[in-house]
Chain A
Amino acid sequence: AQSVTQPDIHITVSEGASLELRCNYSYGATPYLFWYVQSPGQGLQLLLKYFSGDTLVQGIKGFEAEFKRSQSSFNLRKPSVHWSDAAEYFCAVGDNTNAGKSTFGDGTTLTVKP
């Protein structure tokens, strides 16, 4: 069965500093991978996705993620964090044998210090 691990429950960074959120997945085939952001009281918004091809994918709001098959990782990065980036971030892996079914990690809460 597929699974996702986000090792960091909570991360605090200073505004303007770089950010990396970790995600490790378990899946038997080539995965579909996603990062979502959830602001308080809001639904999830897709930041970026990886299906195939270039292992470095660009997303919205200045985020990018790198797929590393050898490490079963799909870490999210941003070079300079803004206060508005404070939110909860979820990594997910898609089951391409059951179209549309995603398994989510338990999330990482990002706090941004002024």
Chain B
Amino acid sequence: EAGVAQSPRYKIIEKRQSVAFWCNPISGHATLYWYQQILGQGPKLLIQFQNNGVVDDSQLPKDRFSAERLKGVDSTLKIQPAKLEDSAVYLCASSLDPTFTYEQYFGPGTRLTVT
């Protein structure tokens, strides 16, 4: 079974530029999560999708971050414009359903550096 795929793996941009990250969850997983992991900290949930609907985006900085999950499969997270403090690893995870009955599977992440 293929795992959660993310691209790109690394990205370097200048502040005020835009960037987009892509995630392909495990086939059949209805729930998809985007986390931000700043160096030295644990992952912080940015947004959670159930199929193509948003369940929780309370910690998403909506003035600059946006995310979508068209057709309930792949997802894209965008930052526009980027700030220095957005430098982090962005992790995508998926699970069969949103309860804790099923494990969250994490992708390898995208490491973003904003200069």
Instruction: Give residues in A with beta carbon < 8 Å to B.
Output: 4, 32, 41-46, 49, 51, 90, 92, 94, 96, 98-102, 104-107
Bound-complex Cα distance A46 to B4 (A)? 14
Q: Is the CB of A44 within 8 A of B43?
A: yes
Given A43-B106, A43-B109, A100-B99, does the pair A105, B42 have CB atoms closer than 8 Å?
yes
Q: Judge whether A100 and B98 touch: CB under 8 Å.
A: yes
Interface bin, chain B:
20 to 34
Name 7 A/B residue pairs within 8 A (Cβ), A-sorted.
A43-B91, A43-B93, A46-B103, A98-B56, A99-B99, A100-B48, A100-B100
Q: Which residues of B contact A102 (CB under 8 A)?
A: 45, 104
Chain A residue numbers with a CB within 8 Å of B43 are 44, 90, 104
Are A94 and B100 interface neighbours, CB within 8 A? yes
Known contacts A99-B100, A100-B48: does B40 contact A106 (CB below 8 Å)? yes
Chain B nearest CB, measured from A4 CB (Å): 8
In order of increasing CB-CB distance, the 4 nearest A-B pairs are A104-B42, A43-B106, A100-B98, A99-B98
